[in-house]
Chain A
Amino acid sequence: MTADRLAGGLYRKRGVPAESVPEMSEEQNKDGGAVEFGAEALVAYEEILTHYPERRAALMPVLWLAQHEFGWLSPQVLSYVSDLMELPLGWVEGVATFYTMFYKRPMGKYHLQVCTNISCYLRGADDILGALRRQLGIAPGETTPDAKFSLDRAEWLGSCGTAPMLQIGDKQYVENLTVEKVIDLVAKLERGEEV
């Protein structure tokens, strides 16, 4: 399976655009190490299965687990999940590509996603994104050469009361942003400080 097929092909509509998915290489595989759950992850896997009457239904939480274990859902990871859960590979790929929070490419250590939807837009999201572009020297969809930062636009993060805002990875929200705040945020992350 090529990365191109993973990203596009049948699943064009909600997949990531083909050009943003790099070809797999040894380099990127190293990122995740061996593609197999360790003992702890296997325990978590078994626990997940208990929440659903059929195994297939556990696919999304298992993909989350795999993403936390391996950093992103490379073709190898998807193939491992497909074997583990005894689901067709095409099915696993189909689900992985449908949901935007499942990474189909390696991400920088800090994945900054700026909400650019309406309430954030009304309160200056474009200025925030612009400041980040300048500060990091990358455009949305790109990662810095030192693999520290990835930048993206997000569609709606459910935080309009504290707009503009951004999300770091699948974790933290940083709200009520200003250009100064966001520059400060990058500096802190650069130094590895808590934000």
Chain B
Amino acid sequence: MSEKLLLRFEDVSTDLSDIDNYVSDGGYETARAALRDRSPGEIVEAVKDSGLRGRGGAGFPTGLKWTFVPKGTGKPVYLLCNADESEPGTFKDRQILEHDPHQLIESMIISAYAIGCIDAYIYIRGEFSTGYETLCRAVADAYAKGFLGKGIFGGDTEVNIHVHRGAGAYICGEETGLIESIEGKRAHPRNKPPFPAVYGVFGCPTIVNNVETLSCVKHIIERGADWFKSIGPESGPGPKLYGVSGHVKKPGVFELPMGTSLRELIEVHAGGLRDGRKLKAVIPGGSSVPVLRADEIDINMDFDSVAKAGSMLGSAGVIVMDDSTDMVAVLRRISHFYHHESCGQCTPCREGTGWLEKILARIEEGHGTPADLEKLDSVAKSMMGTTVCVLSDAAAMPVRSFLDKFRDEFTAAVSGASGRGGESARAVA
């Protein structure tokens, strides 16, 4: 796939965040035509037919999710765009938010029309100040052109977009945490069911979709479901944004067909490892997913293939580690993060994440014992499937997989002769 769609801004010479440039490039024509020529039901069908699966982490079929909105409740329907981009290793949505926000807005107009939503929100993480400002300007410009508000494109559809800025809390990426946050609360995830499609924000039917997921909608409507299906595997096709970071020569976000091989991503697109270094480990989908060893990277990066290899595509944030990496130190960072970010409402997660970090700190600083490894494993096990949301599982999965895949390193670290300690060990204390 040589032509870029989601990252079109890389291919054109003008600044697409400027509405006039975006319009000259053919922008908003797809939304205009869709609202004029197609019924909401036809759009839902097209998205369903395209096989688009959610890019936020879980890979749920988007069209199917949209059909869960109950009809005739008399309540408003809300569309929430998840721009929290909070999973460590993920920095893909930011590209769209900062460089091509109108692609997202146009897609949201079509999506809102399809599900019968008048008021849509974009929840953007507080840290993305540039993205926030760009987005606010883009939304204002779209109103000024009559692409948002009442009677858009001269028809009788009304769609409003509100931009809601987060303020630093990972858990707001979880869809029900995000909903609570928009309602002006602490972002404590809700028990499901009821699912947001039935009982979401302000007690109304709500669809939550990721930035990249929604951005695909415009292209599906423009080029057709068959075109979309022709890219990548049948079980979850389409163009995909992969973020590669860590010990590679050219870290960045790459738009490639779903199912591109992990080896190609690292060796070709990200320029391979730094000189003189060998690959040690790769986390393929954001820091919460199980780690892969260097000999496990001949896999295709799509939902089902990565799952078959024992990990998850997640948010497709690929973190590459070379042979200089201290796996104990990396795991401690990861555990520190989840401990810091647990919302605190469920005991296994609140206490478990604390224990994981404490034990790993001890091991990294050279005071661990072999019993600590068993403890890590049993604490992690007790955290899975026992809480309101899956942050707890997200914290436990890396621990179990690091212990499993890099057992020798952990065993050596608790052997007493590890020579551990020092400045780096204290850095996250």
B45 nearest CB across to chain A (Å): 30
User: Quick one: which of B181, B184, B253, B427 has the most chain A CB within 10 A?
Assistant: B184
Question: Are B167 and A156 closer than 8 Å at their CB atoms?
Answer: no
Interchain CA distance A156-B126 in the complex, whole Å = 12
Q: A189 → chain B, closest Cβ, in Å?
A: 17
Q: Which of B297-350 contact A (CB under 8 A)?
A: 317, 319, 321, 325, 329-330, 333-334, 336-337, 340-344, 350
Task: Write out, one digit per residue, whether chain A residues 102-138 have a CB within 8 A of any chain B CB (1) or not (0).
Answer: 1000000000000011110111001001100000000
Smallest Cβ distance from A71 to chain B, in angstroms? 15
Q: B166 in the interface, Cβ–Cβ < 8 Å?
A: yes
Find B169's partner among A57, A99, A153 (CB 8 Å cutoff). A99
Instruction: Judge if A179 is at the interface, Cβ distance under 8 Å.
Output: no
Task: Give CA–CA (A112, B167) in the complex, Å.
Answer: 16
| Docked-complex contact B183 and A161, CB < 8 angstroms | no
* A133-177 Cβ-contact flags toward B at 8 Å (1 or 0): 000000000000000000001111111111100010011110000
Question: Does A56 have its Cβ within 8 Å of any Cβ on chain B?
Answer: yes
- State which of A23-31, A37-45, A59-67 sits at the interface with chain B: A59-67
Closest Cβ neighbor of B340 among chain A residues: A155
A59 touches B184 (CB 8 A): yes
Report the minimal beta-carbon distance from A167 to chain B, rounded to whole angstroms.
6
B90 touches A158 (CB 8 A): yes
Are B333 and A116 within 8 A (Cβ)? yes
Q: Beyond the given A54-B202, A117-B287, could you list 15 further A-B residue pairs with CB under 8 A, ordered by the A residue number?
A: A14-B186, A51-B164, A58-B184, A98-B169, A100-B167, A100-B169, A101-B126, A102-B167, A116-B428, A118-B330, A119-B245, A121-B329, A161-B91, A161-B243, A173-B130
Q: List 29 A-B contacts (CB under 8 A).
A: A13-B342, A14-B343, A51-B164, A52-B184, A53-B76, A53-B202, A57-B202, A60-B181, A64-B165, A64-B167, A98-B343, A100-B167, A101-B167, A117-B287, A118-B334, A119-B89, A122-B246, A122-B321, A122-B330, A123-B246, A126-B423, A158-B85, A158-B127, A159-B91, A160-B91, A160-B319, A161-B243, A163-B251, A170-B127
Contacting residues of chain B (93-131) with chain A, CB-CB under 8 angstroms:
94, 119, 125-130
Contacts of A58 in B (CB 8 A): 184
B184, B251, B333: the one contacting A117 at CB < 8 Å is: B333
Instruction: Check if B127 sits within 8 Å of A167, measured CB to CB.
Output: yes
- Please pick, from A102, A118, A161, A173, the residue contacting B333 in the complex, using a CB distance under 8 A: A118
Chain A residues whose CB sits within 8 angstroms of the CB of B427 once the complex forms: 116, 126, 129
- Say whether B165 contacts A100, CB under 8 Å: no
Known: A99-B126, A156-B88, A156-B170. A161 touches B251 (CB 8 A): yes
Q: Are B85 and A13 in contact (CB under 8 A)?
A: no
Interface residues of B in 185-206 (CB under 8 A from A): 185-187, 202
| B416 contacts A by Cβ under 8 Å | no
CB nearest to B94 among chain A residues: A158
- Residues of A close to B428: CB separation below 8 A: 116, 153
Residue B383 is within 8 A (CB to CB) of chain A in the complex: no
**Shortest Cβ distance from A167 into B: residue:** B127
In Å, the complex CA distance between A63 and B168 comes to 13
Please give, as numbers and ranges, the residues of chain B lying within 8 Å of A159 by CB-CB distance: 91, 94
Tell me whether A170 and B129 are in contact (CB under 8 A): yes
Whether B43 is near chain A, meaning CB under 8 Å from some CB there, is no
Cα-based distance from A56 to B337 in the complex (angstroms): 30
Question: How large, as a class, is the contact surface on chain A?
Answer: 35 or more
Cβ of A94 under 8 Å from chain B: yes
Bound-state CA distance A160–B319 (Å) is 9
On whether A13 and B344 interact (CB within 8 A), knowing A99-B167, A155-B170, A158-B91, the answer reads yes
CB–CB B165/A60 < 8 A: yes
**In the bound complex, CA of A116 to CA of B329 (Å):** 12
Indicate whether A156 sits within 8 Å of B86 (C-beta atoms), given known contacts A13-B342, A100-B168.
yes
Residues of A near B76 (CB, < 8 A) are: 53
**B270 — nearest CB in chain A belongs to which residue?**
A161
The residue of chain B having its C-beta at the shortest distance from the C-beta of A13 within the complex is B344
Interface: B47 (CB within 8 A): no
A99 contacts B202, CB within 8 Å? Answer: no
Indicate if A95 sits at the interface (CB-CB under 8 A). yes
| B162, CB-defined interface residue at 8 Å | yes
Which chain B residue has the least Cβ–Cβ distance from A98? B186
Q: How far is the CA of A123 from the CA of B428 in the complex (A)?
A: 15
Are B91 and A60 within 8 A (Cβ)?
no
> Are the C-beta atoms of A163 and B169 separated by less than 8 Å?
no
**Known A64-B165, A156-B88, A161-B252: A122·B128 in contact at CB below 8 Å:** no
**A153 → B minimal CB distance (Å):** 8
B19 within 8 A of A: no
A38–B315 Cα distance when bound, in Å, is 43
